[in-house]
């Protein structure tokens, strides 16, 4: 039985565009330029995904392979295209090479049969078929509280507290603690106290009328959505807890 290729925890902490570990710290990308270069290479090959009637796709890589997982419309199998990493090349450059090969095969079959369907089947037959859940390529949706993260920082409140049934009391207690330290009457800085007060007001308003941002994606995979015909970068998702 074919097993899907997995990215290890260590690899997932590398630059999500080129894989480097140098000077990364806690960053997800080594530079904005690096991220943009990979996005450009992925977007330039969206025509191949359209030719494969792709509903969802993901792209990720290890030290030795790049992996393109494709789920066509109306299919329950995921088609995994595996391509060996080339020494000295970035994952984006290897992706372009793989996409060019697959595209040439598609066009060769289309010219031979005059049928886009048979061209699609020929290319899909070059992939490894994985009977894994659709969620492996379908980006899952999380609801993110629509609050300014700095408000939590100013009041020293953990983000997990936003799910607490005692949130209003947590906010009030946190505000009292910070006010004792930063209130001008207690020798604190007026500017800092204003930021704390504004953070308090924002969180109180949110607790009384919660709103959320819908965010979908994977923390370690670039993902493609067929109805949008575009790639999206990996999305940092909060841990459940």
Where along the chain do its domains lie?
A: 9-140+217-232, 147-210
Distance from C-alpha of 3 to C-alpha of 22, rounded to nearest angstrom? 31
Q: What is the pLDDT of residue 110?
A: 96
Percent of the chain predicted with pLDDT > 90: 73
CATH 1.20.120 describes domain 147-210? no
Residue in 54, 76, 77, 57 with CA at minimum distance from that of residue 66: 57
Distance from C-alpha of 106 to C-alpha of 230, rounded to nearest angstrom? 20
Encoded tokens for 10:
């260590």
**Span 108-126, pLDDT tens digits:** 999 999 999 999 999 999 9
Encoded tokens for 51:
């030719």
What secondary structure letter does DSSP report for 238? P
Q: What is the pLDDT of residue 5?
A: 45
Distance from C-alpha of 239 to C-alpha of 179, rounded to nearest angstrom? 30
Task: Cite the DSSP H helix spans in the chain.
Answer: 9-12, 32-44, 46-51, 91-113, 116-124, 149-155, 167-182, 190-208
**Span 47-84, pLDDT tens digits:** 999 999 999 999 999 999 999 999 999 998 999 999 99
Distance from C-alpha of 7 to C-alpha of 236, rounded to nearest angstrom? 16
Distance from C-alpha of 66 to C-alpha of 80, rounded to nearest angstrom? 10
Encoded tokens for 17:
């565009």
């Amino acid at each position: 039985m074919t097993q899907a290729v997995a990215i290890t925890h260590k690899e997932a902490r590398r630059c999500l565009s080129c894989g480097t570990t140098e000077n990364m710290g806690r960053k997800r990308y080594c530079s904005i330029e690096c991220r943009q270069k990979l996005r450009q290479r992925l977007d330039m090959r969206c025509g191949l995904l359209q030719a494969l009637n792709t509903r969802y796709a993901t792209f990720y890589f290890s030290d030795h392979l790049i992996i393109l997982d494709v789920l066509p419309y109306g299919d329950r199998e995921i088609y995994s295209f595996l391509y060996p990493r080339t020494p000295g090349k970035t994952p984006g450059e290897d992706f372009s090479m793989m996409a060019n090969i697959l595209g040439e095969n598609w066009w060769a079959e289309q010219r031979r049969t005059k049928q886009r369907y048979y061209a699609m089947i020929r290319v899909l037959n070059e992939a490894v078929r994985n009977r894994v859940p659709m969620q492996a390529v379908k980006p899952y949706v999380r609801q993110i509280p629509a609050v300014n993260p700095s408000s939590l920082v100013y009041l020293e409140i953990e983000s997990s507290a936003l799910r607490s049934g005692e949130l209003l009391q947590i906010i009030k207690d946190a505000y009292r603690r910070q006010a004792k330290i930063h209130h001008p009457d207690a020798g604190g800085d007026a500017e800092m106290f204003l930021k704390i007060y504004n953070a308090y007001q924002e969180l109180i308003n949110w607790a009384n009328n919660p709103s959320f941002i819908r965010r979908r994606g994977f923390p370690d995979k670039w993902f493609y959505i067929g109805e949008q015909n575009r790639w999206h970068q990996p999305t940092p998702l909060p841990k459940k807890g």
